[in-house]
Amino acid sequence: MPREFVATVNALSGWVKEMGIVILTASPEEVSCEWEVSERHHQAYGIVHGGVHCGVIETIASIGAAAVAHPRGQRVVGLENNTSFIRAVRSGKLHAIAKPVTRGRSSQGWKAWIRDEKEQIVAQGRVRFLCMDGNRTFG
């Protein structure tokens, strides 16, 4: 995907912006991002909330799936997110990478990993998407 695509994604408002997530690369083969952990990411015990990990994995997998679907005149919606929490994190920079498992016409599957600055795995997950006609409305 062109550099402009990454810039456009980073300019979007909403959850990604509020979490301080920066998309580094975005293509049909791989999406990557990074963010600095802060108190806004913590749950009550002072570690990164599992929902943050789920959200990051869903976000980068969604961007990749959309990069596949958009040229075909399709949009994607998430059907399933299965994220496992491996290591607790309190601070530091985290980065994540998503790669496709399958890029079919009606569904896609993507896998993703979140790692810390020492390259230790923090969380991993899989997201499944439905590919829909681009003119179809949601809901």
Helix intervals (H) in the chain = 3-11, 15-19, 50-69
44: confidence class by pLDDT, cuts 50, 70, 90: very high
Determine the CATH number of domain 3-133.
3.10.129.10
**Does residue 7 register a pLDDT over 90?**
no
Least trusted range by pLDDT, from 7-16, 23-32, 110-119: 7-16
> pTM for the full model?
0.91
What pLDDT score was predicted for residue 135? 85
Chain-centre distance for alpha carbon 51: 12
Instruction: Provide the residue ranges of all domains of the chain, joining segments of one domain with +.
Output: 3-133
Distance CA 27, CA 21 (A): 17
* pLDDT tens digits, 54-72: 999 999 999 999 999 999 9
Residue 117 burial class via C-beta count within 10 angstroms: exposed 0-12, middle 13-18, buried 19 and up: exposed
Helix intervals (H) in 20-120 = 50-69
